[in-house]
Amino acid sequence: MFIEPKSDRAIPGDLQPAINALCNVAADLSNRIALGPLGADLAQAVGANTDGDQQKALDLIADDAFMAEMAKVGVRWYASEERDTVEQLDPVGALALAIDPLDGSSNIDVNVSIGTIFSLQPALADGNDTFLRNGHALRAAGYFIYGPQTALVVTFGEGVRLFVLDRSAGRFVEAPDLMVLSQDAGEFAINASNYRHWSKTVRAYIDDCLAGIDGPRGRNFNMRWVASLVAETHRIISRGGIFLYPGDGRDGYANGRLRQVYECQPIALLIEQAGGKATDGVQRILDKVPPHLHARTPLVFGASDHVDRVATYHDLPDQEVSALFGNRGLFRA
Protein backbone atom coordinates (compact mmCIF):
# COMPACT_ATOMS: atom_id res chain seq x y z
CA MET A 1 0.00 0.00 0.00
CA PHE A 2 1.45 3.35 -1.03
CA ILE A 3 0.67 6.99 -0.48
CA GLU A 4 0.05 9.16 -3.54
CA PRO A 5 0.60 12.88 -2.87
CA LYS A 6 -0.47 15.67 -5.15
CA SER A 7 2.24 16.50 -7.65
CA ASP A 8 2.95 19.91 -6.07
CA ARG A 9 3.23 18.60 -2.48
CA ALA A 10 6.17 16.44 -1.50
CA ILE A 11 6.50 14.08 1.46
CA PRO A 12 9.91 14.31 3.16
CA GLY A 13 12.01 11.58 1.59
CA ASP A 14 13.38 10.18 4.84
CA LEU A 15 9.83 9.80 6.18
CA GLN A 16 8.34 8.19 3.06
CA PRO A 17 9.17 4.54 3.92
CA ALA A 18 7.68 4.86 7.42
CA ILE A 19 4.55 6.57 6.10
CA ASN A 20 4.10 3.89 3.43
CA ALA A 21 4.47 1.18 6.09
CA LEU A 22 1.89 2.85 8.31
CA CYS A 23 -0.49 3.02 5.34
CA ASN A 24 0.05 -0.66 4.61
CA VAL A 25 -0.95 -1.72 8.12
CA ALA A 26 -3.85 0.74 8.25
CA ALA A 27 -5.30 -0.62 5.01
CA ASP A 28 -5.15 -4.16 6.39
CA LEU A 29 -6.80 -3.07 9.65
CA SER A 30 -9.50 -1.29 7.67
CA ASN A 31 -10.29 -4.53 5.85
CA ARG A 32 -10.47 -6.45 9.14
CA ILE A 33 -12.73 -3.86 10.74
CA ALA A 34 -15.02 -3.73 7.71
CA LEU A 35 -15.85 -7.44 8.12
CA GLY A 36 -17.46 -6.74 11.50
CA PRO A 37 -19.10 -9.86 12.94
CA LEU A 38 -18.17 -11.85 9.81
CA GLY A 39 -14.54 -11.79 10.93
CA ALA A 40 -12.86 -12.49 14.26
CA ASP A 41 -14.25 -11.08 17.52
CA LEU A 42 -12.11 -7.96 17.48
CA ALA A 43 -13.93 -6.44 20.48
CA GLN A 44 -13.11 -9.37 22.78
CA ALA A 45 -11.43 -8.27 26.02
CA VAL A 46 -7.96 -9.83 26.26
CA GLY A 47 -6.30 -8.04 29.19
CA ALA A 48 -5.23 -4.62 30.41
CA ASN A 49 -2.39 -2.26 29.55
CA THR A 50 0.12 -0.71 31.97
CA ASP A 51 -2.44 1.90 33.13
CA GLY A 52 -5.19 -0.63 33.76
CA ASP A 53 -7.23 0.21 30.66
CA GLN A 54 -8.98 -2.78 29.12
CA GLN A 55 -7.38 -4.07 25.93
CA LYS A 56 -9.43 -5.50 23.10
CA ALA A 57 -8.23 -8.12 20.63
CA LEU A 58 -7.87 -5.50 17.88
CA ASP A 59 -5.68 -3.32 20.14
CA LEU A 60 -3.07 -6.06 20.27
CA ILE A 61 -3.47 -7.12 16.64
CA ALA A 62 -2.87 -3.52 15.55
CA ASP A 63 0.08 -3.05 17.90
CA ASP A 64 1.84 -6.21 16.71
CA ALA A 65 1.25 -5.33 13.05
CA PHE A 66 2.57 -1.77 13.31
CA MET A 67 5.65 -2.84 15.26
CA ALA A 68 6.50 -5.55 12.72
CA GLU A 69 6.30 -3.10 9.81
CA MET A 70 8.25 -0.35 11.57
CA ALA A 71 11.22 -2.67 12.06
CA LYS A 72 11.72 -2.67 8.27
CA VAL A 73 11.75 1.08 7.56
CA GLY A 74 14.44 2.75 9.65
CA VAL A 75 12.51 3.16 12.92
CA ARG A 76 14.83 2.70 15.89
CA TRP A 77 12.45 3.31 18.78
CA TYR A 78 8.82 2.15 19.00
CA ALA A 79 6.64 3.48 21.83
CA SER A 80 3.08 2.19 22.01
CA GLU A 81 0.21 2.82 24.36
CA GLU A 82 -0.13 -0.96 24.55
CA ARG A 83 3.45 -1.62 25.75
CA ASP A 84 5.04 -0.89 29.10
CA THR A 85 8.39 0.25 27.73
CA VAL A 86 10.05 1.57 24.58
CA GLU A 87 11.06 -1.16 22.10
CA GLN A 88 14.23 -0.94 20.01
CA LEU A 89 13.57 -2.15 16.47
CA ASP A 90 16.48 -1.04 14.26
CA PRO A 91 19.68 -0.14 16.17
CA VAL A 92 20.82 2.19 13.37
CA GLY A 93 17.40 3.64 12.55
CA ALA A 94 17.06 7.42 12.49
CA LEU A 95 13.38 7.71 13.47
CA ALA A 96 11.17 7.08 16.48
CA LEU A 97 7.47 6.28 16.33
CA ALA A 98 4.94 6.92 19.11
CA ILE A 99 1.58 5.29 18.44
CA ASP A 100 -1.86 4.58 19.80
CA PRO A 101 -2.47 1.58 17.53
CA LEU A 102 -6.23 1.48 17.95
CA ASP A 103 -7.99 4.55 19.39
CA GLY A 104 -11.63 4.23 20.41
CA SER A 105 -11.60 0.45 20.78
CA SER A 106 -14.68 0.58 23.02
CA ASN A 107 -16.59 1.40 19.82
CA ILE A 108 -15.40 -1.58 17.76
CA ASP A 109 -18.59 -3.58 18.15
CA VAL A 110 -21.02 -0.70 17.47
CA ASN A 111 -19.68 0.36 14.04
CA VAL A 112 -18.53 3.83 15.14
CA SER A 113 -15.41 5.39 13.62
CA ILE A 114 -12.18 4.36 15.32
CA GLY A 115 -8.58 5.10 14.40
CA THR A 116 -4.81 5.05 14.83
CA ILE A 117 -2.81 8.03 16.15
CA PHE A 118 0.93 8.41 15.54
CA SER A 119 3.90 10.75 15.48
CA LEU A 120 7.42 10.51 14.05
CA GLN A 121 10.49 12.27 15.43
CA PRO A 122 14.29 11.92 15.26
CA ALA A 123 15.67 9.07 17.35
CA LEU A 124 18.09 9.91 20.16
CA ALA A 125 20.62 7.46 21.60
CA ASP A 126 18.22 6.57 24.43
CA GLY A 127 14.64 5.49 23.80
CA ASN A 128 13.06 7.12 26.84
CA ASP A 129 14.93 10.37 26.25
CA THR A 130 13.58 10.40 22.70
CA PHE A 131 9.95 10.49 23.79
CA LEU A 132 10.29 12.48 27.03
CA ARG A 133 10.64 15.87 25.36
CA ASN A 134 8.19 18.49 24.20
CA GLY A 135 6.22 18.28 20.98
CA HIS A 136 8.48 20.61 19.02
CA ALA A 137 10.70 17.64 18.09
CA LEU A 138 7.93 16.02 16.00
CA ARG A 139 8.65 15.70 12.28
CA ALA A 140 5.19 14.34 11.43
CA ALA A 141 1.93 13.61 13.20
CA GLY A 142 -1.31 12.11 12.03
CA TYR A 143 -4.13 9.65 12.39
CA PHE A 144 -5.92 7.05 10.34
CA ILE A 145 -9.70 7.05 10.67
CA TYR A 146 -11.61 3.87 9.92
CA GLY A 147 -15.11 5.05 9.12
CA PRO A 148 -17.32 5.45 6.03
CA GLN A 149 -14.02 6.32 4.36
CA THR A 150 -10.65 5.11 5.54
CA ALA A 151 -8.45 8.19 5.53
CA LEU A 152 -5.06 9.46 6.66
CA VAL A 153 -4.89 12.97 8.10
CA VAL A 154 -1.26 14.03 8.49
CA THR A 155 1.04 17.01 8.84
CA PHE A 156 4.71 17.31 8.02
CA GLY A 157 4.81 20.84 9.42
CA GLU A 158 3.30 22.62 6.42
CA GLY A 159 -0.46 22.37 6.86
CA VAL A 160 -2.77 19.38 7.31
CA ARG A 161 -3.18 16.97 4.42
CA LEU A 162 -5.95 14.46 3.76
CA PHE A 163 -5.37 11.13 1.97
CA VAL A 164 -8.30 8.81 1.26
CA LEU A 165 -7.90 5.06 0.72
CA ASP A 166 -8.81 4.18 -2.85
CA ARG A 167 -9.12 0.42 -2.61
CA SER A 168 -9.39 -0.09 -6.36
CA ALA A 169 -6.08 1.71 -6.90
CA GLY A 170 -4.40 0.27 -3.80
CA ARG A 171 -3.34 3.72 -2.70
CA PHE A 172 -4.01 6.48 -0.19
CA VAL A 173 -4.70 9.32 -2.64
CA GLU A 174 -4.37 12.95 -1.56
CA ALA A 175 -7.42 15.22 -1.61
CA PRO A 176 -7.04 18.54 -3.44
CA ASP A 177 -7.27 20.95 -0.52
CA LEU A 178 -5.45 21.32 2.78
CA MET A 179 -7.66 20.96 5.86
CA VAL A 180 -8.31 24.26 7.67
CA LEU A 181 -10.18 24.40 10.97
CA SER A 182 -13.24 26.67 10.96
CA GLN A 183 -13.18 29.31 13.68
CA ASP A 184 -16.96 29.78 13.74
CA ALA A 185 -18.67 26.48 14.57
CA GLY A 186 -20.94 26.39 17.63
CA GLU A 187 -20.20 22.84 18.80
CA PHE A 188 -18.47 21.50 21.88
CA ALA A 189 -17.48 17.93 22.73
CA ILE A 190 -17.24 16.75 26.32
CA ASN A 191 -18.47 13.79 28.38
CA ALA A 192 -21.23 15.56 30.29
CA SER A 193 -21.84 12.53 32.53
CA ASN A 194 -18.76 13.65 34.50
CA TYR A 195 -20.17 17.14 35.21
CA ARG A 196 -20.28 16.59 38.97
CA HIS A 197 -16.56 15.73 39.03
CA TRP A 198 -15.33 18.77 37.06
CA SER A 199 -13.66 21.83 38.54
CA LYS A 200 -15.69 25.03 38.95
CA THR A 201 -13.96 26.57 35.92
CA VAL A 202 -14.90 23.74 33.55
CA ARG A 203 -18.47 23.68 34.84
CA ALA A 204 -18.71 27.44 34.36
CA TYR A 205 -17.51 27.22 30.76
CA ILE A 206 -19.97 24.46 29.89
CA ASP A 207 -22.82 26.19 31.75
CA ASP A 208 -22.25 29.27 29.59
CA CYS A 209 -22.34 27.18 26.41
CA LEU A 210 -25.56 25.51 27.53
CA ALA A 211 -27.14 28.88 28.30
CA GLY A 212 -27.14 29.52 24.56
CA ILE A 213 -28.27 32.79 23.10
CA ASP A 214 -29.58 34.01 26.47
CA GLY A 215 -26.26 33.45 28.25
CA PRO A 216 -22.94 35.30 28.21
CA ARG A 217 -21.80 33.58 24.99
CA GLY A 218 -24.75 35.06 23.11
CA ARG A 219 -25.16 32.06 20.78
CA ASN A 220 -26.58 28.55 20.77
CA PHE A 221 -24.26 25.54 20.93
CA ASN A 222 -24.65 21.86 20.11
CA MET A 223 -22.94 19.16 22.16
CA ARG A 224 -21.20 16.16 20.61
CA TRP A 225 -19.50 13.16 22.25
CA VAL A 226 -18.33 10.04 20.38
CA ALA A 227 -15.79 8.60 22.88
CA SER A 228 -13.27 8.19 20.06
CA LEU A 229 -10.53 10.82 20.01
CA VAL A 230 -9.87 10.28 16.30
CA ALA A 231 -13.55 10.75 15.44
CA GLU A 232 -13.80 13.87 17.60
CA THR A 233 -10.63 15.32 16.07
CA HIS A 234 -11.75 14.59 12.52
CA ARG A 235 -15.07 16.36 13.06
CA ILE A 236 -13.43 19.40 14.61
CA ILE A 237 -10.74 19.72 11.92
CA SER A 238 -13.45 19.28 9.28
CA ARG A 239 -15.95 21.80 10.64
CA GLY A 240 -14.71 23.51 13.81
CA GLY A 241 -15.75 23.58 17.45
CA ILE A 242 -13.96 22.62 20.66
CA PHE A 243 -13.08 19.38 22.46
CA LEU A 244 -12.51 19.13 26.21
CA TYR A 245 -11.19 16.21 28.26
CA PRO A 246 -10.35 17.95 31.55
CA GLY A 247 -8.90 16.52 34.68
CA ASP A 248 -11.52 15.95 37.37
CA GLY A 249 -12.01 14.94 40.99
CA ARG A 250 -12.16 11.16 40.56
CA ASP A 251 -9.28 8.95 41.68
CA GLY A 252 -6.82 8.65 38.81
CA TYR A 253 -8.41 11.45 36.77
CA ALA A 254 -6.57 14.51 38.07
CA ASN A 255 -4.79 14.78 34.69
CA GLY A 256 -7.60 13.37 32.59
CA ARG A 257 -7.12 10.05 30.78
CA LEU A 258 -5.44 10.95 27.49
CA ARG A 259 -1.75 10.12 27.03
CA GLN A 260 0.58 13.00 26.35
CA VAL A 261 3.03 11.10 24.13
CA TYR A 262 0.70 8.87 22.10
CA GLU A 263 -2.41 11.01 21.75
CA CYS A 264 -2.11 14.62 22.86
CA GLN A 265 1.17 15.66 21.20
CA PRO A 266 0.19 14.32 17.73
CA ILE A 267 -3.33 15.77 17.93
CA ALA A 268 -1.98 19.11 19.16
CA LEU A 269 0.41 19.41 16.21
CA LEU A 270 -2.37 18.60 13.75
CA ILE A 271 -4.75 21.11 15.31
CA GLU A 272 -2.15 23.89 15.31
CA GLN A 273 -1.23 23.16 11.69
CA ALA A 274 -4.94 23.40 10.81
CA GLY A 275 -5.14 26.86 12.41
CA GLY A 276 -6.46 25.97 15.86
CA LYS A 277 -4.99 25.66 19.36
CA ALA A 278 -4.43 22.80 21.82
CA THR A 279 -3.79 23.26 25.55
CA ASP A 280 -4.27 21.50 28.87
CA GLY A 281 -6.78 24.24 29.68
CA VAL A 282 -4.03 26.80 30.23
CA GLN A 283 -0.65 25.64 28.87
CA ARG A 284 0.11 24.83 25.24
CA ILE A 285 0.36 21.05 24.81
CA LEU A 286 3.38 21.19 22.48
CA ASP A 287 5.35 23.10 25.16
CA LYS A 288 4.82 20.43 27.83
CA VAL A 289 7.48 17.80 28.60
CA PRO A 290 6.01 14.40 29.55
CA PRO A 291 7.26 13.36 33.03
CA HIS A 292 7.13 9.68 32.03
CA LEU A 293 6.28 7.54 29.02
CA HIS A 294 2.61 6.97 29.82
CA ALA A 295 1.93 10.40 31.35
CA ARG A 296 -1.56 11.83 30.99
CA THR A 297 -2.66 15.41 30.54
CA PRO A 298 -5.94 17.31 30.30
CA LEU A 299 -6.66 18.23 26.69
CA VAL A 300 -8.60 21.16 25.21
CA PHE A 301 -8.39 21.79 21.47
CA GLY A 302 -10.25 23.37 18.61
CA ALA A 303 -10.99 26.85 17.30
CA SER A 304 -8.51 29.35 18.72
CA ASP A 305 -11.00 31.76 20.31
CA HIS A 306 -12.87 28.88 22.00
CA VAL A 307 -9.65 27.46 23.47
CA ASP A 308 -8.48 30.91 24.58
CA ARG A 309 -11.78 31.49 26.33
CA VAL A 310 -11.40 28.30 28.37
CA ALA A 311 -8.07 29.63 29.64
CA THR A 312 -9.65 32.91 30.74
CA TYR A 313 -12.10 31.05 32.99
CA HIS A 314 -9.13 29.95 35.11
CA ASP A 315 -8.35 33.62 35.76
CA LEU A 316 -11.86 34.68 36.80
CA PRO A 317 -12.40 35.77 40.41
CA ASP A 318 -14.25 33.16 42.43
CA GLN A 319 -17.48 35.16 42.55
CA GLU A 320 -17.56 35.20 38.73
CA VAL A 321 -16.84 31.47 38.39
CA SER A 322 -19.46 30.63 41.00
CA ALA A 323 -22.14 32.90 39.54
CA LEU A 324 -25.09 31.53 37.66
CA PHE A 325 -24.45 31.78 33.93
CA GLY A 326 -26.94 34.58 33.53
CA ASN A 327 -24.98 36.71 35.96
CA ARG A 328 -21.41 36.04 34.85
CA GLY A 329 -20.97 39.70 34.04
CA LEU A 330 -17.41 39.75 32.73
CA PHE A 331 -18.41 37.50 29.84
CA ARG A 332 -21.67 39.14 28.83
CA ALA A 333 -21.66 39.62 25.07
The 3 state secondary structure assigned to 204-259 is HHHHHHHCHHHCCCCCCCEEECCCCHHHHHHHHHHHCCEEEECCCCCCCCCCCCCE
| Domain range for 210 | 187-331
* Residue 54 counted as domain residue: yes
Q: Whole-angstrom Cα distance, residue 271 to residue 28?
A: 27
The CATH number of residue 271's host domain is 3.40.190.80
Asked if pLDDT for residue 13 goes beyond 60, the answer is yes
- Residue at which a domain ends, from 148, 174, 200: 174
Looking at residue 45, what is its pLDDT? 57
Asked if pLDDT for residue 111 goes beyond 50, the answer is yes
* Residue 179 counted as domain residue: no
Domain co-membership, 159 together with 218:
no
* Residue 182 counted as domain residue: no
Sign (positive/negative) of CA torsion 137, 306, 106, 156?
A: negative
Domain co-membership, 243 together with 155:
no
* Residue 90 counted as domain residue: yes
Q: Whole-angstrom Cα distance, residue 90 to residue 95?
A: 9
Domain co-membership, 61 together with 88:
yes
Q: How many domains does the chain divide into?
A: 2
Residues making up the binding site for Mg(2+): 81, 100, 102-103, 263
The CATH number of residue 17's host domain is 3.30.540.10
Asked if pLDDT for residue 331 goes beyond 70, the answer is no
Q: Whole-angstrom Cα distance, residue 110 to residue 49?
A: 22
* Residue 315 counted as domain residue: yes
Domain co-membership, 46 together with 152:
yes
Question: What are the residues whose beta carbons fall under 8 Å from the beta carbon of 305, sequence distance 6 or more?
Answer: 183
Residues making up the binding site: 81, 100, 102-106, 191, 263
| Closest to 228 in 3D by CA, of 306, 149, 298, 143 | 143
* Residue 322 counted as domain residue: yes
Average of per-residue pLDDT across 84-104: 97
Domain co-membership, 191 together with 94:
no
Strand order in the sheet with 160-166: 2-4, 171-174, 160-166, 150-155, 140-146, 114-122, 95-103, 75-80, 87-88
Average of per-residue pLDDT across 215-220: 90
| Contact yes or no for 138/269 (Cβ under 8 A) | yes
Asked if pLDDT for residue 333 goes beyond 50, the answer is no
Residues making up the binding site for substrate: 103-106, 191
Domain co-membership, 65 together with 159:
yes
Indicate the average pLDDT of the chain. Answer: 91
Domain co-membership, 162 together with 274:
no
Domain co-membership, 261 together with 305:
yes
Q: pLDDT band at 325, cuts 50/70/90?
A: low
* Residue 68 counted as domain residue: yes
**Helix 229-239 vs helix 265-273: angle between axes, to the nearest 10 degrees?**
10
Question: What are the residues whose beta carbons fall under 8 Å from the beta carbon of 196, sequence distance 6 or more?
Answer: none
Domain co-membership, 117 together with 221:
no
Q: Is 177 helix (H, G, I), strand (E, B) or coil?
A: coil
Domain co-membership, 60 together with 34:
yes
Domain co-membership, 244 together with 290:
yes
Asked if pLDDT for residue 46 goes beyond 60, the answer is no
- Residue at which a domain ends, from 114, 146, 174: 174
Q: Whole-angstrom Cα distance, residue 17 to residue 75?
A: 10
- Residue at which a domain ends, from 145, 174, 203: 174
271, 274, 276, 281 alpha-carbon torsion, rounded to 10°: 10
Looking at residue 44, what is its pLDDT? 63
Asked if pLDDT for residue 324 goes beyond 80, the answer is no
Domain co-membership, 82 together with 168:
yes
* Residue 181 counted as domain residue: no
Asked if pLDDT for residue 42 goes beyond 50, the answer is yes
